[in-house]
Chain A
Amino acid sequence: MTTATTTSVSLDVRDVHLAFGPNRVLRGVDLSVPRGATACVIGPSGSGKSTLLRTINRLIEPDRGDVLLDGRSVLGDDPDALRQRVGMVFQQFNLFPHMSVLRNVTLALRRLRKLGADEAETVARAQLELVGLAGKANSRPAQLSGGQQQRVAIARALALRPEVMLFDEATSALDPELVKGVLGVMADLSAAGKTMVVVTHEMGFARQVADTVAFMDRGVVLEAGPPEAIFERAEHPRLRRFLDQVL
């Protein structure tokens, strides 16, 4: 895979708090992801995992705390510029249905990176090739399976050469037989040294691919560590109960 490891950075989330009215969704989240490492965030629904991801690329502004890339706070940066450095993949893909697959990938390259049409297309086709969808460039998203759509979404995010990738339950909306292809792309990316935060219910993926697994519950990271520690020697009773339920 050609996604250069050199474009990865370290990510630190420090004491991030966020409340929606009286609902305190994040209550002091800390997460450290070294350059090129993959952190998987697991935990029950409503524990704040997806919200945490959105505070990292500031789709939602945290009330308090800090987010750092390579040790430098990004909360003062232009959020649009930040989001070009931090790619995100969503559970529902969020492809633009009125555009071809190719145009989904070239849009940001052309409008934000100001690449010419030919150059953008070359980059986009190469990226689609990497996710195994070179032949679908002219299709509409609706003509693709969920798994293919998600791989396009990954290609679209990667085309901007982000320094960090965020995955928000990227396989949760997929039929079981399509999950493996998407996880394969993500595993490749991780192996290539992209800094990644992956919110997932795929415990097998977390165990095999993650460098760090963080267990979130009720807006905090209750326990974090290497996968073997989390899956084999979980300390916190809530984590043990959660693992009993999902494994």
Chain B
Amino acid sequence: MDPLSTLWETFFDWDAMREALPEMLTVGLPNTLILAVSAALLGSVLGLLLAVAGISRSRWLRWPARVYTDVFRGLPAAATILLIGVGLAPLGMQVWGPDPYPLGILALSLIAAAYIGEIFRSGIQSVEAAQLEGARALGFSWADAMRLVIIPQGIRRVLPAWVNQLIALIKDSSLVYFLGLVASQRELFRIGQDYAATTGNESALLLAGLCYLALTVPLTHVVNWIDRRLRNGRPATASTEEDDDDIASYAATEGDRR
């Protein structure tokens, strides 16, 4: 058998894929989404808090944020998931029972927050100081100016980088299998891996890979679309051209009035 057809059969066995597909879609996909979406939400909120702490004038906020970021960005994701998932398991057992998902989500969130915090911080710091001055001059407090003017602009500037992190998160969600999952808790990768192990054929893993792509590629494009929309505002309506000679006519009437 030539290597090409071996490759083909190992990865493109349609029957093996067809066999794995139902479980992939009904069990794996929802579980991956639960893990990724929850961790994305929690990680983004924590990341925003870290970002604001990271630019605070108080060192008691700045330093813990710095240390947190260094630690959780520096550790391998698998190590963090094991440390949190196993280390906090006794506590988790009391609160949630034996379900490994809450601790898995917590670990994924803590990892994502370290990266997202840095992404948000760089975005917020890229907003011109004049914007803060403009908001403060209207009478907004520092906190309100940050919340209403600076942070929204900063985050919009780093949406693509934020999506990178969400994509990493979707992929890293496969690592919760370290914590031991029962059949109904398995996510995409684990299901692919199990089929591959039982059949000796890797096609189900490839199918899992395609499922990841089906999540990540559209996500990139949706956020790019949102990004464009936020930059340009809503598509221009008909009333935009009325004012261009308005300047001239206005200036002229001003001249008369003076």
- Residue numbers of A with Cβ under 8 A of B are 57, 59, 80-84, 87-88, 90, 92-98, 100, 107-108, 111-112, 132-133, 135-136, 138-140, 143, 145, 147-148, 156-157, 160, 177-178, 180-181, 183-185, 187-188, 208
Instruction: Provide the bound-state CA to CA distance between A66 and B71, in Å.
Output: 49
Q: Nearest chain-A residue to B233 (Cβ)?
A: A140
Q: Which of B134, B137, B230, B246 contacts A96 (CB 8 A)?
A: B134
Is B246 a contact of A160 with CB atoms below 8 Å? no
Chain B residues near A95 (CB-CB < 8 A): 134
Chain B residues near A107 (CB-CB < 8 A): 138, 148
Among B28-36, B76-84, B237-245, the stretch that binds chain A is: B237-245
Is A94 a contact of B134 with CB atoms below 8 Å? yes
Is B138 a contact of A157 with CB atoms below 8 Å? yes
Is A94 a contact of B130 with CB atoms below 8 Å? yes
Chain A residues near B258 (CB-CB < 8 A): 184, 187, 208
Among B9-17, B109-117, B139-147, the stretch that binds chain A is: B139-147
Chain B residues near A180 (CB-CB < 8 A): 251, 254-255
Interface residues of B in 132-183 (CB under 8 A from A): 133-141, 144, 148-149, 152-153, 156
Q: Which of A98, A111, A135, A140 contacts B246 (CB 8 A)?
A: A135
Q: Which of B131, B234, B243, B255 contacts A94 (CB 8 A)?
A: B131
CB<8 Å pairs between A and B, sample of 7 = A59-B133, A81-B139, A98-B153, A108-B139, A135-B242, A138-B237, A184-B250
Q: Which of A81, A136, A184, A185 contacts B243 (CB 8 A)?
A: A136
User: Does more than half of chain B's interface fall in helix, strand or loop, or is it mixed?
Assistant: helix
Say yes or no: is B57 at the interface (Cβ < 8 Å to chain A). Answer: no
Instruction: Provide the bound-state CA to CA distance between A19 and B47, in Å.
Output: 38
Is A156 a contact of B133 with CB atoms below 8 Å? no
Chain B residues near A145 (CB-CB < 8 A): 244, 247
Is B247 a contact of A184 with CB atoms below 8 Å? no
Taking the closest CB of chain A, its distance from the CB of B11, in whole angstroms, is 46
Is B239 a contact of A98 with CB atoms below 8 Å? no
Is A112 a contact of B138 with CB atoms below 8 Å? yes
Given A108-B138, A157-B138, A181-B251, A139-B152 contact (CB < 8 Å): no
Q: Nearest chain-A residue to B131 (Cβ)?
A: A94
Q: Which of B133, B139, B141, B233 contacts A160 (CB 8 A)?
A: B139
Is A178 a contact of B138 with CB atoms below 8 Å? no
- Residue numbers of B with Cβ under 8 A of A are 130-131, 133-141, 144, 148-149, 152-153, 156, 230, 232-234, 236-237, 239-240, 242-244, 246-248, 250-251, 253-255, 257-258
Instruction: Provide the bound-state CA to CA distance between A171 and B182, in Å.
Output: 69
A-B pair number, CB within 8 angstroms: 107
Question: Which 7 A-B pairs give the minimum distances between C-beta atoms?
Answer: A184-B254, A94-B134, A84-B139, A180-B251, A132-B250, A83-B139, A140-B233
Chain A residues near B234 (CB-CB < 8 A): 138
Q: Nearest chain-B residue to A159 (Cβ)?
A: B138
Taking the closest CB of chain A, its distance from the CB of B255, in whole angstroms, is 7
Is B230 a contact of A133 with CB atoms below 8 Å? no
Is B139 a contact of A98 with CB atoms below 8 Å? no
Chain A residues near B149 (CB-CB < 8 A): 96
Is B131 a contact of A96 with CB atoms below 8 Å? yes
Taking the closest CB of chain A, its distance from the CB of B227, in whole angstroms, is 12
Given A98-B230, A132-B250, A181-B250, A156-B153 contact (CB < 8 Å): no
Q: Which of A59, A87, A156, A185 contacts B136 (CB 8 A)?
A: A59
Is A80 a contact of B141 with CB atoms below 8 Å? yes
Q: Which of A81, A84, A98, A208 contacts B152 (CB 8 A)?
A: A98
Instruction: Provide the bound-state CA to CA distance between A184 and B234, in Å.
Output: 31
Given A59-B136, A181-B247, A184-B250, A143-B130 contact (CB < 8 Å): no
Instruction: Provide the bound-state CA to CA distance between A188 and B257, in Å.
Output: 8
Instruction: Provide the bound-state CA to CA distance between A108 and B257, in Å.
Output: 31
Chain A residues near B233 (CB-CB < 8 A): 100, 139-140, 143
Chain B residues near A185 (CB-CB < 8 A): 254
Given A80-B140, A83-B138, A98-B152, A90-B133 contact (CB < 8 Å): yes
Is B247 a contact of A111 with CB atoms below 8 Å? no
Taking the closest CB of chain B, its distance from the CB of A22, in whole angstroms, is 22
